[in-house]
Amino acid sequence: MSDKKDIKIIDAVVNVWTEEALSVRPDWGTDFFVEKMKANKELMNGLSLENMILRMNSAGIDHAFLIAAKSGRPGLPGCYHMPPEIVANAVKEHPNKFSGIIGIDPFTGMQGVRELEIAVNDMGFIGAHLYPHWFELPPNHAKYYPFYAKCCELGIPIQMQVGQSMIYSKEFPCKSVGQPIHLDAIACDFPELKIIGIHVGIPWTDEMIAMSWKHDNVYIGCDAHSPKYWPQSFNNYINSYGQNKVIFGTDFPVLDFERTVNEIYALDFKSEVLDKILRENTKKIYSLE
């Protein structure tokens, strides 16, 4: 077991979970998070920013990126767009603890591209975020390309879910379109764009590793899947030639802060590797001081 160090951890994938934020999320979320993802049921009624910070501090997490997610096209089942003001206000209230990541909706076209620019230039967001499966468009679809070009122009990274979608119901089938090989074309077409494939890439983790190793501008977010159950090939990659290509995240409340950190420390990672995945890689990718 690796010894715990005094690392000021950065969690790059966190859902804002205040009562205000939950009021704009769809009703199916509670059953999905608790029953499917085994999230803490006690958190489903909301969590103040102050209580979130207490939970972060207990886990050794110094800073978190809050996502103003855009999930699906308005009017479709399961869709919600988190108002960027909710995240921006949280960052304004606790600037030393939070930064904002703005979601994109490929069906908003150039209006969405302009909103992305406003979010970064006027509201202080430091990166973009994409859930391809909500739109049933693989991430190399042409509709995303204006957003990628704007990210390059603004000099910001983009997170996007890779791997399968865990969401499915008869009313809301959500197809898996995030196979990591789709990042190959994006990385070739936009070599300046820093691309972070979040959610590990399961069940195509080895394919995600291959994309990260091939492209200097492709990274992996290790959130949403318990470290205790990570594929061994992923652990080997982190602990060796991929130590500069992986960043820490929880996708809170999918994974609890303290549990996730403890499970990572229980893995046999080198001391210098822990520094990188828990903080330094994220600082470098997002150009944080």
pLDDT at 119: 98
The Cβ of residue 81 has, within 10 Å, a number of other Cβ atoms equal to 16
pLDDT at 169: 58
* Phi (first) and psi of residue 107, to 5 degrees: -85, 0
Can you list the alpha helix ranges (DSSP code H) found in the chain? 19-22, 29-31, 49-59, 84-93, 109-121, 132-135, 145-154, 183-189, 205-214, 232-238, 257-265, 271-275, 281-285
Domain 9-285 CATH (choose: 3.40.50.720, 1.10.287.1120, 3.20.20.60, 3.20.20.140): 3.20.20.140
**Rounded Cα distance, 22 and 191, in Å:** 37
Tokens of 64: 């978190």
Residue of 146, 145, 160, 95 lying closest to 123 (CA atoms): 95
The Cβ of residue 116 has, within 10 Å, a number of other Cβ atoms equal to 25
Amino acid at the residue 95: P
pLDDT at 172: 63
The rounded average pLDDT for each run of 10 residues, N- to C-terminus, in the chain (289 residues) is 78 96 76 61 84 98 97 74 97 98 96 98 98 93 98 98 75 80 98 98 97 98 96 98 98 94 95 97 95
**Rounded Cα distance, 74 and 93, in Å:** 29
Tokens of 107: 């069906």
Distance in Å from the first CA to the final CA of the chain: 30
Alpha carbon separation from 183 to 30, 55, 82, 162, 203 (Å, rounded): 31, 34, 25, 9, 16
Q: Which residue do the tokens 């479709």 mark?
A: 76
CB 215 within 8 A of CB 169: no
**Rounded Cα distance, 69 and 101, in Å:** 8
pLDDT at 185: 98
pLDDT at 34: 59
* Phi (first) and psi of residue 197, to 5 degrees: -85, 105
- Cα–Cα–Cα angle for 90, 18, 155, rounded to 5 degrees: 40
Residue of 71, 66, 64, 67 lying closest to 29 (CA atoms): 71
Model-wide pTM > 0.75: yes
**Rounded Cα distance, 11 and 26, in Å:** 25
**Rounded Cα distance, 201 and 4, in Å:** 27
